[in-house]
Amino acid sequence: MRGDRFFLFAVAGILAGGCTLAPRYDRPEPPVPGQWPSGAAYKETMGRDPAELKWQEFVADSRLRDTVERALNNNRDLRLAALNVQRARAIYGIRTAELAPSVIAAGTGDRHRLPADLSPTGKAITTEQYSVELGIASWEIDFFGRIQSLKDQALEEYFATEQARRSAQISLVSAVANAYLTLVADRENLRLAMSTLETQKGIRGLILKRYEIGLASEIELRQAETQVEAARGEVARFTQLVAQDENALNLLVGAKVPAELLAESLGDITPPSQVSAGISSEVLLRRPDIMAAEHRLRAANAFIGAARAAFFPRISLTSVLGTASGELTGLFKGGSRAWSFVPQIVLPIFDARTWSAYEASKVEREVAVAQYEKAIQTAFREVADALAVQGTVEEQLSAQQSLVKALAETHRLARLRYERGIDTYLTVLDSQRALFAAEQGLVTVRLLSLTNRVRLFAVLGGGTD
C-alpha cells in the first residue's frame, strides 16, 4: 500500500513538473536563398567573421570608440531595453513560482460577547478563540501542463527581450558611428564651402579690377557675384547641417560630445574593421532581431499548450495545519491541534471562450511564423544591399578621386586662360561648379565607404556581446 502511494506521488510529480500539451516546435525553413547574391556588383572581400568581433574591436578609431562607450552608458533607449529584460525576467520568476505551493502562516484571535436576549442560555456569554496555522492556499497541481506552458512562454519572452536588448545595443553602436561620421563629413563639406567662398571672392575681386579698366564686361562681374552668393548659401546650409548633426549625435550619446573627440576630416578616422558575410546566408539566424522573433514564435507555440490545457480539469489543494484554543494560553497545549484538507477539482463542461482562446492561440502562432519569416527576408535584403555597396564602393572612390584631380587641373587651366584673355569667364564658371560638386561627391563616397562597413557589421548580427 505504501509503495502504491509512492508511485502515485511520483507520477503526480512528473506530471506537475514537466508535462505540457504544447505542440512540438519545428523551426520554419528560412524563406531566402541559401547563398548570397552574385554578379557584377558583388565581389568577394576579405574580412573577419562578425561573430568573432566585439564592437570595441570593430570600432578601430579611439575617438569614435570613446563616443560609442559614452552612448552605451547614457542612452535612454538602451536603458529602457535593459529594464524590459529585467521585467521579463521577473515575470518568468512569477510563472516558475506558480508551479510550487505557496506556504503561508497565519495567526488569528477572536473575542466577542453575546447579549443575554440573544443567548440560548438566557445569560450574556463572552467567547474567545485563538489559532495559529501553517498551510498551503489554493495550490493548482499542474497535471496537464497549463502552468508549465505559461512558464515556458514567459521564458521565451524573457529570451526575446534579451535579444531585443542586444539588437538595441547593436543599433545604437551603428547609429552613433553613422551620426559621428556624418557630422565629420558635413564639417569637411563646410570647410570646403568656406574655401570655395574665399576663392569666389578672390575671383570677383580680380574681375572687378578688370571691369574697372575695361578688360571685363558687366555680365562677367555679375556672374562672379552670383557665384559668391551661391557659395555663401552653401556655407549657411552646411553650418545648419553641422549644428543638426551635433544635436543628433548628442541625443544618441545622452550628453554633449567633447570637441576633442571629433575628427577634423574623414581621412583622419581609422576605418572600422572589414568584416565578411561568408558564403551561406544561414549566418542571419544569429542576428539578435531574428533570434528574438524565433523566441516569440516559441512563446506562441508554448501558449497553445496552455490553451489546450484549459479543456482539462483543474485540480487545486488547500490545506492547513495548526493549533486552536478558546484561550490564548492554551494554544500550544496538548489536544489543541487543528487541520484542514480541502482538495478541489473544476471540470469545464461548456465555455465558448475556451474554444475561442484556443483558436486565437493558433492564429497567434501563425502570426509569429509570418513575422519570423519576414524578419529573415528583411535581413537578407539588408545584407545583400550592404554587400552590393561593398563590392562597388572602392571603384566609385577611385573614380571620384580621379575626377576631382582632373577637374582641379581643368579649373586651374581655365582660370589661367581667362586671366591671359584667351578664354571667357563662362569657362571658369563651369569648371568651378563642376570641381565643387566633384569635391562634395568625393566626401559623400568616402562617407559611404565608412558607413557601409558599419552597416554590414550591424546587419550581420553585430558580433559578440
pLDDT, residue 200, reads: 85
pLDDT, residue 320, reads: 80
What CA–CA distances, in Å, run from 55 to 46, 71, 120, 254, 454? 18, 13, 84, 19, 10
User: Across residues 43-54, what is the average pLDDT?
Assistant: 83
Give 57-75 pLDDT, tens digit per residue: 999 999 999 999 999 999 8
Give 230-285 pLDDT, tens digit per residue: 899 999 999 999 999 999 999 999 999 999 999 989 999 999 999 988 888 888 99
Phi, psi for 134 (deg, rounded to 5)? -130, 125
The average confidence (pLDDT) of the chain is 86
Please state, as a whole number, how many other Cβ atoms lie within 10 Å of the Cβ of residue 137: 14
User: Across residues 308-316, what is the average pLDDT?
Assistant: 85
pLDDT, residue 330, reads: 65
Give 370-402 pLDDT, tens digit per residue: 999 999 999 999 999 999 999 999 999 999 999
Q: Which domains, and CATH codes, for the chain?
A: 39-109+128-459 (1.20.1600.10)
Which of 211-215, 300-304, 415-419 has the highest average model confidence (pLDDT)?
300-304
pLDDT, residue 343, reads: 82
Give 27-42 pLDDT, tens digit per residue: 999 999 999 998 889 8
163 vs 114, residue with greater confidence = 163
pLDDT, residue 69, reads: 93
User: Across residues 114-124, what is the average pLDDT?
Assistant: 77
Phi, psi for 347 (deg, rounded to 5)? -110, 115
Q: Give residue for cell 563616397.
A: 445
Look at residue 3 and tell me whether its pLDDT is greater than 50. no
Look at residue 131 and tell me whether its pLDDT is greater than 70. yes
314-338: b or e for each residue (b if 16 or more CB lie within 10 Å)?
bbebeebebbbbeeeeebeeeebee
pLDDT, residue 302, reads: 92
Look at residue 314 and tell me whether its pLDDT is greater than 90. no
pLDDT, residue 380, reads: 95
464 vs 356, residue with greater confidence = 356
pLDDT, residue 395, reads: 94
Amino acid present at 461: G
pLDDT, residue 117, reads: 77
Give 179-190 pLDDT, tens digit per residue: 999 999 999 999
pLDDT, residue 350, reads: 79
328 vs 248, residue with greater confidence = 248
Phi, psi for 459 (deg, rounded to 5)? -75, -15
Amino acid present at 394: E
Look at residue 159 and tell me whether its pLDDT is greater than 80. yes
268 vs 99, residue with greater confidence = 268
> Angle between the 425-459 and 352-419 helix axes, to the nearest 10 degrees?
150
pLDDT, residue 335, reads: 64
pLDDT, residue 13, reads: 46
pLDDT, residue 465, reads: 64
429 vs 25, residue with greater confidence = 25
pLDDT, residue 48, reads: 84
Amino acid present at 319: S
Please state, as a whole number, how many other Cβ atoms lie within 10 Å of the Cβ of residue 416: 12
Please state, as a whole number, how many other Cβ atoms lie within 10 Å of the Cβ of residue 342: 12
pLDDT, residue 223, reads: 83
Look at residue 15 and tell me whether its pLDDT is greater than 60. no
pLDDT, residue 329, reads: 67
